[in-house]
Every structure is written in C-alpha cells, then in structure tokens.
Amino acid sequence: MGVCVSKAGRLVVLVSGSGTNLQALLDASADPSYGARVVAVGADREGIEGLARATRANVPTFVEKVGNYAARADWDAAIAAKIASYEPDLVVSAGFMKILGTPTLDAFPVLNTHPALLPSFPGAHGVRDALAHGVKVTGCTVMLADEGVDTGPIVAQAAVPVQPDDDEAVLHERIKVVERRLLVETVGRMAREGWTVSGRTVRIGNHTGGEST
C-alpha cells in the first residue's frame, strides 16, 4: 500500500447484524464537531437491526445479497458500485460478515475491527484463540482492510486484561465495549486530522495511531 493522505468526512457503514458499532458512529456523528457523518448503511441481508437503526436515523440503506449473483465477482462489483454511488471518503466494516473484493478495496479505504491485538490471533476466533493460548492481555484492533484476513495495516489498538474467570463470551463482551469506543475515536480523528499510509505504517495527523485505553 502506497502513501496517501485523506480525510474521512463521508462514511458508508456496512453491517450484517445488530449494528451496535453503527449506532455508536451514528450517535457520535450527530455532533457536528465529530467531523464525519454516515451517508449510507449497506448490508448483505435484509431484516437486521443494523438496517433498522439506519432507518430510524434517516440514513439511506441498501442490501446486496451474495446469493442474488451467479458469481462472487459479480457481487463484488455490485456492492462496490452501490458504495460508490454515495461518494464515501471512508467505508467502515462494522460487523460485516463478508470479505470485500478488490473492486471495493481498490476504490476506497476500508476500516475494519478485530477482537484481538493483531497480528496475534487473526481470523474468526480471535477471542477463543487468545484464551486458549493463555495470554494475560488481549484487546482489539482497528485496521485498514486488504485482501487478506486481518492482515491490513494497523491504525489503532487498545488493550483489554484477561481475568482468571473469563470465558469466551464474557471476555468478548468486554472487548466489544473497548472496540466500540476505539472505533468511534479513530474514525473521528481520521475525519478531523486526516491520515497517511506508507507501507504498513498508518499515521493519523502528525501522530502514529496507537493504543487507547
């Protein structure tokens, strides 16, 4: 990934479920000083609370189901075109359960979250894997998505201590609270201060995106 300088005033948020991170972004962007606003919410399925949250906030929505297309590449192109129609500065994958293809990744910066301190414990079971490994501290990561799984440049991270009696569900809920706060903080800073990417190094404003606790 080369060097870029950008700001993130217009957000398209992608969801697949309840949309709690979306709601946090909607709440934050209600304040003009936040610097960003959600201009559309997209989903890969209908009837989810994430879409209902957008409708209640008077934010346009769209749905692109993978099953409606003969080939995955056709869906990749369709969702990229739909996103483009809203002219976003930044796409936020907020619990979106599909991997975005090159048409979207090449056209827009895409922010994603992961419930572990990458590069440790990537993939679908980051919390479970952290517990199984016996770590004493885990956390969450905000990254710029690329074509891999949880392999993109890291924008910000926050630590979450592991308690002796934690199970996967309890620890994951505690991480989600921190993750939500970190995502809102990071998007706001990117919107107000801009960011640069050089190789795998991401800087927001004049500072390296770092830990927030």
The candidate with the shortest Cα–Cα distance to 38, out of 74, 2, 9, is: 9
Task: Check if 114 is active-site.
Answer: yes
Token pair for residue 197? 């990417």
Task: Render 98-160 in DSSP notation, one character per residue.
Answer: S---HHHHHHS-EEEEESS-TTSS-STTHHHHHHHHT-SEEEEEEEE--SSSS-SPEEEEEEE
Preceding amide of 119 cis, omega within 30: yes
Active-site residue set: 114
